Copies of this chain bind each other. A is one copy, B any other.
Amino acid sequence: VINADRVWQRLMRLAEIGALPGGGVDRQALSAGEIDAWRLVIGWALEAGMSAASDLAGNLFLTLPGRDRSLPPVMAGSHLDTQPTGGKFDGAFGVMAALEAAVSMAERGLVPARDLVVVAWMNEEGSRFAPGMMGSEWFAGVRDLAAIRATKDAAGIGVGDALDWLHAAFPDLAHHAAGFPVAAYLEPHIEQGPVMEQQAQVIGVVTGIQGKTTWEITITGREGHAGTLAMADRADALMAFARMAVAWQAEIGLADAAVKFTIGRLVVAPNAPSVVPNRVTLRIDLRHPDNAVLNRLGARLETIAHELAAPCGVAITRLVDAPSNEFDDALRARITAAAARHNLSSMPMLSAAGHDARHLAPLCPSAMIFIPCRGGISHAEDEWAEPAHVAAGALVVAEVLAALVTPDA
């Protein structure tokens, strides 16, 4: 039904764009690399008779036209951007599996009853421009375009300018001015955790996504000379950070076995060896499957920051406040059944990582299909998925999508 070898070859070809020496990929949102990836993927879609379009938020849509084009399409995909030292599969697998479903359908001369849209969402990762999932949030109407465009990267480049640059690279693409109705959404992805590998399962039927809160915290002290300013007279922003971090780790990071607490980004100013730091800016990522626990730990985190800042000041901003969600029962049943038909083992599981599907779920029946990744490693250069698992995942995706777009098939 599908060409599993083509899925694998295309994943490897995509991984050449932004390839890192250690086998990973650096293809951050709206970068030159992502533009190259778009060019490649659009070429594959056009070759199969599909059409391409974008929207004001820089999402990419590749459409296999259906018999009745007035019906809301079925949509599937993920994202093409990566972490700065990301891997070959996170995001790319979802787009390639969905594309293969459409391309193989076109090759067999099947015309779906309604449009099948393969999507690549803008800036899922949120590492160049924070927070992530800007494209799907805009599509779902939960984030304003002006706020997205105003976001700047570390070099001071705004999403607005980067979006204009992306669109200028594809002058022939039509742009949707807003999100549009979708009949169903399916997102294939690597697990990004070790559970499926440990339990020797091939297909993960995702029940929901664990809740997540992220913060930007700025600690403000006073600059001074490292050799002359008495310790008692200092307001050292980095030392205030260290006090907070140790307390957060003890009270929040180790609160229970399900909590995930990460300070992934931290910038010190003026960051000179003999100057007492006057400013530390950091990002915190806190996740928990239980919304009540997430809320309680989040409130405690903010209290600790206020309690331990003195003699420095602290400013706390919540960037993301996403509770846990649950995916569509009927779609989950379809995935389980499709896996069983092909004798592929499957298991229901919670997604520990966030995905764009979180923002589609309120709009239409949505679900996710996971495949295992080696050692549970992702967001790292040695992220790896076995070709057999990529093939199995793509097969189940194609089967579920075919049934959704052609109910009588």
A residues with CB within 8 A of B: 83-85, 125-127, 130-132, 191-193, 210, 212, 214, 223-232, 236, 238-239, 241-243, 245-246, 249, 253-254, 257, 259-268, 270-277, 283, 285, 287, 352-354, 376-381
Contacts and interface: CB of A to CB of B under 8 A. Distances in A.
A226 B260 contact: yes
9 contacts: A83-B274, A210-B227, A225-B379, A226-B285, A228-B352, A230-B257, A231-B260, A231-B261, A272-B379
A209 to B, nearest CB: 9
Contacts of A268: 265-267
Contacts of A287: 226-227
Contacts of A85: 223, 270, 272, 275
Contact of A127 (B223, B229, B273): B273
B231 A242 contact: no
A192 to B, nearest CB: 4
B262 A274 contact: yes
Contacts of A276: 262, 264
A180 B283 CA distance: 52
Contact of A353 (B228, B243, B285): B228
Counting every copy of the chain, the complex holds 2
Contact of A266 (B230, B238, B262, B285): B238
Contacts of A381: 223
Contacts of A230: 257, 260
Given A127-B274, A241-B242, A352 B227 contact: yes
Contacts of A224: 377, 379-380
A132 to B, nearest CB: 7
Contacts of A225: 192-193, 352-353, 377-380
A268 B271 CA distance: 12
A238 B285 CA distance: 14
A259 B226 CA distance: 10
Contacts of A236: 262
A113 B85 CA distance: 64
Contacts of A267: 268, 271
A276 B232 CA distance: 33
B272 A254 contact: no
Contact of A271 (B238, B241, B265): B265
Contacts of A226: 260, 262, 264, 285, 287, 379
B245 A242 contact: yes
Contacts of A263: 238-239, 277
A354 B377 CA distance: 46
Contact of A379 (B223, B238, B246): B223
A287 B230 CA distance: 11
A61 B336 CA distance: 80
A273 B277 contact: no
A145 B379 CA distance: 41
Contact of A274 (B132, B245, B377): B132
The 8 closest A-B pairs by CB, nearest first: A242-B245, A226-B262, A127-B272, A193-B228, A227-B353, A273-B283, A228-B352, A226-B285
Residue picked from A232, A378, A381, most chain B C-beta under 10 Å: A378
Contacts of A192: 225, 227-228
Contacts of A354: 227
Given A224-B380, A228-B378, A239-B249, A265 B273 contact: yes
A264 B260 contact: no
A374 to B, nearest CB: 13
A264 B277 contact: yes
Contacts of A241: 242
Contacts of A260: 226-231
Contacts of A245: 238-239, 242
